[in-house]
A and B are shown apart, each in its own frame.
Chain A
Amino acid sequence: AQSVAQPEDQVNVAEGNPLTVKCTYSVSGNPYLFWYVQYPNRGLQFLLKYITGDNLVKGSYGFEAEFNKSQTSFHLKKPSALVSDSALYFCAVRDRNSGNTPLVFGKGTRLSVIA
């Protein structure tokens, strides 16, 4: 079975500082990995995904994530946080080798960027 862990319920960072939102995953085969962001009372917005190839994936709004197979991690990063980045962030995984298995989401990490 596939699963995602987001170990931090809340991350606080000062505006202008780098931010990291952590994600680890478990799949039996090779993973497809995604990051989504959710603003209050809104649906999820796609940020980036890892399919294959370069371990560093660049996405929307200056976000990037690094796939680390040995640590089974896919942490989301941004060099300089903005107050407008404050939102709920979800990591999701799908096992590439398990047919049409559903996308499994983590519980989310709330990011608060303080001015």
Chain B
Amino acid sequence: EAEVAQSPRYKITEKSQAVAFWCDPISGHATLYWYRQILGQGPELLVQFQDESVVDDSQLPKDRFSAERLKGVDSTLKIQPAELGDSAMYLCASSRGQGLETQYFGPGTRLLVL
């Protein structure tokens, strides 16, 4: 069964440092999502791609967060500089298309900012 891959699984960094997370969606999935999940809460969408184009980044803190999906396949989410409040689980999900298509999630990257 195909899965969404993410790396690293865990990341510890100091505030003001740069961090990057990688996601490889299920093959053939055109839509890719990055979510942030704070402990005790549900995931919140940060950015959505359709192929290589950003569809929705309204909740992405653009002063410090950036995301790209250059070839429309894998994607990178970057934080620079990291702040203490960025400590969370970062989840990547993919779906065949937008709308009612089911989203399939990767295992996540747990970030701790010290």
Which residues does A use to contact B, with CB under 8 Å? 4, 32, 34, 36, 41-46, 49, 51, 90, 92, 94, 96, 100, 102-103, 105-108
Contacts and interface: CB of A to CB of B under 8 A. Distances in A.
B25 interface: no
A98 to B, nearest CB: 11
Nearest to A41: B110
B100 A51 contact: yes
B32 to A, nearest CB: 13
Given A41-B110, A45-B105, A105 B42 contact: yes
A103 B45 contact: yes
Interface in B67-114: 91, 93, 98-100, 102-108, 110
Contact of A102 (B45, B100, B105): B45
Nearest to B45: A102
Contacts of A105: 42-44
B42 A106 contact: yes
A107 B43 CA distance: 8
A34 B102 contact: yes
B20 interface: no
